[in-house]
A and B are shown apart, each in its own frame.
Chain A
């Protein structure tokens, strides 16, 4: 590409000698340069990894704490994003930051749930980076984005000193006298004023410098939320853009890790062990499916797919699978003939022995959570996502999860952190403090569980976030197609242009 064309673009950009003067930005201007497909995809995937780390860290550690900061900084460095408010030239990282943000907007504007997730992680990321700025850089940044608030005079501050002290939690009288206070409009200080954590008078809030970032953040959130809504309006054209469609679909449902389609342990599971395994090593979704299968001697299509592929992933051979399902279904209303004619075919299909002969891959958590929600009579899906919280609570209690654990899980569910809830379930049922990995796949749950139970794992200090993150993106069964785009399919000079139209008001 890459250097020469970039230089060309830089020269064309002409007067913008400093396109990225700060390590931080509000992402107000979409990138106008042409981007190669390779960069498009790799930037987007890297940012997605980053945001997932942000999500994970955000729920596991205090956001202002040192552990959080160290880990996040490490990840930013690793993925080559701006990781510190370097005053010197950090052009590549900042450019990557800029472009990847906008690409993910395209992918994540598509539904309310995706928008909410994206907004939350981007805000947490922004908050972290904003805090890392020095005072000087912070002021410069605020000026740059036109958020210079008016600092109140010393006289006024002395006059109001007592009220300021009473209204601003966490500030001693001395600090009040030392720190700067800014006069801010009510609409900019909504969160502070609604909770009465700031002094207000005559329609203005008097905000100490330490809370200014809440206001900046609020501004950022408002702008990004609006921008996402705007981009969503371009959805029909985005979705019919042939260059983008496969890439974006992939992204917003993306699972970036091993796909468990190649089993190293094929044939190592004995059918008689499945009942015990379902209690010890299956994630809740599969345990539920197994139980329902045993009780009803039947599962509907969604359940058969989810559970059947999972079993394949843990090592069941085709012969074992046929035996397993047949034995169970016969106990129900299905006779042997009917089984052989109907259900057996689709099991063989799953193993790639029929029809298109594609070896289907077991579903990832993302896929289970986001597609094909269960209805009455179904047992598939993710229990943390799809079960009524009361029922989930009862189920966890019946599985002897301690009450404090149940509460923690329910809190995570309330916050829509379904995979983290499952991680907590793993920790509680395996009696470990730290799951040691970032859960993305039911088969991953099984594999890790087996490792612990067979003593083959030391407690890891550094969570291994995304499995083999160095590999290129593996096949993830997309909803529509079975073939998956891999980077090797793209020609390196293919470029994408004209994307900025999706971000702007028409």
Chain B
């Protein structure tokens, strides 16, 4: 497979939007079962076209209209915005102040660059298999909290296409959340605080909230492989000094003396962790104060870092699932939570690899039935490519939502005594 060249996008995008983009499923998603009138029509989309031309407040009368427009303009990037009070493409005709965003999915954006202070392998836009684990941990920590603590059901996790992941929470009630509530959720989920000037970004004290405890449990599962082996954070004096800076002075000296005597990061961590656990046991028996430095270190190195601005505003636009990343060519594909640990961002299909697959498959499929309808052919098309499992995952997500919707409808009609 030839590597992706951004210059090839103008050729590849028309093929993508005609034969690969899952328009049907996409429309099913954003229509939300047609329960609310005009939900799709009031949704804002924004497109980034060739030469960085950016158009906002696009809206469409139906998924079919959207499909036609995508095939006509072949945008480099698609963003999804809020459902507004009026059709976004008519917002100029509306009295100023009356045009307001009304609803939107609760979204999260986790970006690898926000971890630059704790990555040794890469920085800024680069990622590698070593640091990708951070995203795995982030998804696991956040998703657990979304489900268990916040009671959310319909979460769509998506690979952003380059260096991060997005989450779209689609529950009916959550789409109606106010900016204040969204901001509160982000705050609840935030533990790493401080910028470049802050050395110690996580500070814990007793009593430790169950959220923190549970999050540490998740991080712990990955910590040895990721931090001690992969990133080797205690591998050299230079590296372990950074870690020890997060330990209170009373404990630091001893560790400083003992560390050189140990063989590797794993051993050194055992020592550090052991000491901290000892303080906690003593404190439980009334002697001294409990120290959580081991947890604090794990969290500072691994706990997810969210951008509150992405989640807070109802009108905030976010890259759409199944959009192409213009720099990497990778498709923003849904993540299968059952196989999260095996996800490899470098194995995600690119628009060029998909088109090449179509070309190859096209030779076999000369038996085209001329009566076949366009959508059916498209279904066969993406099925012949690596995009297939991802569309399947997306459809499963949709089915769960539709199932829940049916259940809710039944419950309501039962309550009202309808037969």
Contacts and interface: CB of A to CB of B under 8 A. Distances in A.
B209 interface: yes
A196 B184 contact: no
Interface in A91-127: none
Given A187-B178, A200-B149, A202-B148, A167 B184 contact: no
A191 B210 CA distance: 18
A10 interface: no
B213 A166 contact: yes
B150 A200 contact: yes
Q: Interface SS of chain B: helix, strand, loop or mixed?
A: helix
Contact of B207 (A166, A193, A202): A166
A428 interface: no
Given A166-B208, A166-B210, A194-B183, A201 B149 contact: yes
Nearest to B206: A166
Given A163-B210, A166-B208, A193 B151 contact: no
Nearest to B171: A203
Interface string B169-212: 00000000110110111011000000000000000000111111
B152 interface: yes
A203 B177 CA distance: 13
Interface string A270-291: 0000000000000000000000
Contact of B211 (A186, A187, A196, A203): A196
A196 B187 CA distance: 9
Nearest to A201: B149
B284 to A, nearest CB: 13
A167 B149 CA distance: 12
Interface residues of B, number: 21
Contacts of B177: 187
A387 B63 CA distance: 55
B184 A202 contact: no
A128 interface: no
Interface in A145-182: 163, 165-167, 169
Nearest to B191: A196
A422 B247 CA distance: 43
B155 to A, nearest CB: 13
A377 B128 CA distance: 57
Nearest to B214: A163
A190 interface: yes
A170 to B, nearest CB: 10
B151 A167 contact: no
Contacts of A194: 183-185, 187-188
B211 A190 contact: no
Interface string B198-238: 00000000011111110000000000000000000000000
A68 interface: no
B209 A166 contact: yes
Given A165-B207, A196-B211, A203 B151 contact: yes
Nearest to A190: B184
A204 interface: yes
A194 B179 CA distance: 13
A27 interface: no
Nearest to B153: A203
A203 to B, nearest CB: 2
A166 B210 CA distance: 7
- Residue from A169, A191, A193, A195 whose CB has the most chain B CB atoms within 10 Å: A193
Given A191-B184, A202-B148, 6 more contacts: A186-B181, A186-B184, A193-B188, A194-B184, A196-B211, A201-B151
8 contacts: A166-B209, A166-B210, A169-B207, A193-B184, A196-B209, A200-B150, A203-B151, A203-B152
